[in-house]
């Protein structure tokens, strides 16, 4: 069987399983099975597929047909300017979260705190752009923190990681606090794609309530942990901007702003601690 034949059969298998983007996913999985960069796959399609590559391809197709995310199958996800290891213990870094990184980099900072760091993608991306800054990432998941530490070593940034329930174990003040907290309301969970609902860590997706619990804790604790003039920036769901901005304002933070992602949806709320 040639690579092209395997690719056609693989795409059909995924489509039959109801996988969205079946053709593109099959290409990614075949490149992975052949241990090739995706842009080198075309040259291999005319050749017979080695038996070991065919076995690997079949196994990854079975996992994808079961709706396991491609990033978990590959073990990595591209985000900002780097690739990050992902596991079932971490939220999959998504392109829309790059809005938060871009907005954070629009201002100066010498210290940054990332609450609920997961893979560490946000914190590590920021520190890679600001080599002189110090950074701390927190998470309640010890397994996620191990993934974040590995990602920091791989990218080559120096960061500290701490097991903490939001600010519970955090001391000191920071110029910048960022977070992509669990913001999906409990009654919205059933609407999520199986790749998200069944494969990503539930505690990173939902607060089990109205989707605003994390923002209440973050807004309440941020003033004590921000330097004067320091910024708080959080990712939100597209309908939560006004509510999160109100929480920041009630906590004494100034100038709350709602920033859109590339699709024009509300994605980030930012505010400052008064001088």
Identify the CATH number of the domain in which residue 261 sits. Answer: 3.40.50.150
| Cα angle: 231, vertex 98, 133; to 5 degrees | 50
**In this model, does residue 37 exceed pLDDT 90?**
no
Kindly state whether residues 28 and 96 are assigned to the same domain.
no
Beta-strand pair 226-235/254-260: unpaired
Contacts of 106 (CB under 8 A, 6+ apart): none
**In this model, does residue 38 exceed pLDDT 90?**
no
The answer to whether position 73 is within a domain reads: no
The answer to whether 166 is a known ligand-binding residue is: yes
Q: pLDDT tens across 109-155, in order?
A: 999 999 999 999 999 999 999 999 999 999 999 999 999 999 999 99
Kindly state whether residues 43 and 113 are assigned to the same domain.
no
Kindly state whether residues 23 and 94 are assigned to the same domain.
no
Kindly state whether residues 232 and 160 are assigned to the same domain.
yes
Kindly state whether residues 41 and 168 are assigned to the same domain.
no
Number of domains the chain contains: 2
The answer to whether 138 is a known ligand-binding residue is: no
Average pLDDT over residues 174-190: 96
Kindly state whether residues 201 and 121 are assigned to the same domain.
yes
The answer to whether 119 is a known ligand-binding residue is: yes
Q: pLDDT tens across 221-259, in order?
A: 999 999 999 999 999 999 999 999 999 999 999 999 999
Return the pLDDT at 42: 87
Q: At what angle do helices 51-65 and 22-33 cross, to 10 degrees?
A: 140
Q: Is 227 exposed, middle or buried, given 0-12, 13-18 or 19+ CB atoms closer than 10 A?
A: middle
The reply to whether the predicted model has a pTM over 0.85 is yes
The answer to whether position 109 is within a domain reads: yes
Return the pLDDT at 200: 94
The answer to whether 120 is a known ligand-binding residue is: yes
What residues are paired with 235 via a beta bridge? 268
Average pLDDT over residues 71-78: 95
Average pLDDT over residues 43-55: 92
The answer to whether position 75 is within a domain reads: no
The answer to whether position 156 is within a domain reads: yes
The answer to whether 171 is a known ligand-binding residue is: no
The answer to whether 116 is a known ligand-binding residue is: yes
Question: What range defines the domain where residue 257 resides?
Answer: 86-272
Average pLDDT over residues 158-182: 97
Kindly state whether residues 12 and 107 are assigned to the same domain.
no
Return the pLDDT at 39: 81
The answer to whether 139 is a known ligand-binding residue is: yes
The answer to whether 199 is a known ligand-binding residue is: no
| Exposure string over 25-47, b if 16+ CB within 10 A, otherwise e | bbbbbbbbbbebeeeebeebbee
The answer to whether position 247 is within a domain reads: yes
Kindly state whether residues 21 and 131 are assigned to the same domain.
no
Average pLDDT over residues 152-179: 97
Kindly state whether residues 198 and 241 are assigned to the same domain.
yes
Kindly state whether residues 132 and 263 are assigned to the same domain.
yes
The answer to whether 118 is a known ligand-binding residue is: yes
The answer to whether 97 is a known ligand-binding residue is: no
The answer to whether 99 is a known ligand-binding residue is: no
Mean pLDDT of the chain: 96
């Amino acid at each position: 069987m040639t690579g092209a034949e395997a690719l056609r059969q693989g795409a059909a298998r995924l489509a039959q399983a109801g996988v969205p983007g079946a053709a593109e996913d099959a290409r990614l999985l075949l490149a992975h099975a052949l241990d090739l960069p995706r842009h080198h796959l075309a040259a291999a399609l005319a050749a017979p597929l080695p038996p070991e590559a065919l076995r690997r391809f079949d196994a990854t197709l079975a996992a994808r047909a079961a709706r396991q995310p491609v990033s978990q199958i590959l073990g990595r996800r591209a985000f900002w300017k780097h690739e990050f290891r992902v596991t079932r213990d971490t939220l999959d870094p998504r392109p829309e979260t790059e809005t938060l990184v871009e907005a954070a980099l629009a201002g100066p900072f010498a210290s940054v705190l990332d609450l609920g760091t997961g893979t560490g993608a946000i914190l590590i991306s920021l520190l890679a752009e600001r080599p002189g800054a110090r950074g701390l990432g927190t998470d309640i998941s010890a397994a996620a923190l191990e993934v974040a530490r590995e990602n920091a070593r791989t990218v080559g940034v120096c960061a500290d990681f701490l097991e903490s329930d939001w600010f519970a174990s955090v001391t000191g003040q920071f110029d910048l606090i960022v977070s992509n907290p669990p913001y999906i309301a409990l009654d919205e969970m059933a609407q999520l794609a199986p790749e998200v609902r069944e494969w990503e860590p539930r505690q990173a997706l939902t607060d089990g309530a109205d989707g605003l619990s994390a923002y209440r804790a973050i807004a309440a604790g941020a003033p004590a942990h921000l330097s004067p003039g320091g910024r708080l920036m959080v990712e939100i769901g597209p309908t939560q901007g006004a509510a999160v901005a109100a929480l920041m304002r009630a906590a004494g933070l100034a100038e709350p702003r709602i920033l859109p992602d590339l699709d024009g949806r509300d994605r980030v709320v930012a505010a400052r601690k008064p001088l």
